[in-house]
Homo-oligomer: A and B are copies of this chain.
């Protein structure tokens, strides 16, 4: 007498969670220092000191009743204005506060947009490799979920595959760049060509095809441009989270940006807010909206991520591993020697080295490493990667 789909979503442990639990059990046996857990995508940088200082100041300076009180469901005006101003300064856009809708993080933001676009027979495309929650999010929102195969080994976007999968029912295409799990940043060339394709198909079908740009890693890029997609394709809706850029993933602060110039822009904005309301959205946590007013311009200190990334990427390449070029986020996506990442992950587990096989991400021959772990641990894990490669070679897998 309960909903079976929700039950499965509640009890089914995903692969990452299982690896994490395995790691905890092993840590109890061999010591935490001897388990090399590359599974969880948790920021390892603390929030910039300005964030905690802002909280102290808000509590000391502002009226407590207002600080913790309800804001407008779309978010406090000042906070939305800070987001718009920040976007305009970074990307030269003309974003306005009335185009911003503050949410409890990127996940409910995405779901609100998907629900807003859920019409009869509606479909949504995602590009492999992809963040696995997109599928339940889309399906529980009432959209058919379809996955575009990965563009191996560059992990850009196979435009011919996208074109073959577009139909008159396609409502949206989800993009995630810098990408989880590949760490790849879609280039301006990729995005411009994709935009041209979508514009052509919009004319052919006579209705908008939105890009739903999921950008939690937008500020985490290492020396490459992360093009801002609304500047390239008009019918783009952005979902953002402050989890990674401010290192506050537990605090649940994000937004949807629906430019008015989008097809049906104003109606879509309100439809997104209505979809959020039906999911129990009241407002984004109010003290965090005030932190945003004071801290929206902060950018993360990427040095420690970059150092970890460089060590791991260069070392793996030297050992003969093939990796997608990890220009952003905090992931490296690596081809499993022999092409079976599930088998490789099992093999690595025997050395207490935890890597996530890419099957659930839509790319079964690669595994994901999240390098948000201490630098010295990465150093100590390198011999294990070398042993694994040697074993695979000895078995003729490569």
Contacts and interface: CB of A to CB of B under 8 A. Distances in A.
Contact of A275 (B10, B42, B268, B283): B10
Contact of A9 (B208, B250, B275): B275
Interface in A109-127: 109-112, 115-119
A255 interface: no
A381 interface: no
Interface string A150-166: 00000000000000000
A62 to B, nearest CB: 11
A88 interface: no
A81 interface: no
Size class of the A contact interface (CB-based, 8 Å):
35 or more
A195 to B, nearest CB: 19
Contact of A42 (B67, B70, B268): B70
A328 interface: no
A304 interface: no
Interface string A45-74: 111000110011001000111011111000
Given A108-B279, A277-B9, A278-B9, A68 B270 contact: no
A105 interface: yes
Given A7-B270, A52-B59, A274-B11, A111 B252 contact: no
Contact of A115 (B3, B46, B275): B3
A273 interface: yes
Residue among A116, A249, A274 with the highest chain B CB neighbour number at 10 A: A274
A396 to B, nearest CB: 41
B119 A251 contact: no
Nearest to A247: B68
Instruction: Give the top 5 A-B pairs by smallest Cβ distance, nearest first.
Output: A250-B286, A10-B274, A9-B274, A108-B280, A10-B270
19 contacts: A2-B117, A5-B274, A6-B118, A7-B267, A10-B269, A10-B271, A42-B69, A43-B65, A44-B65, A47-B68, A68-B247, A68-B249, A70-B250, A104-B285, A108-B279, A108-B280, A133-B277, A251-B285, A252-B252
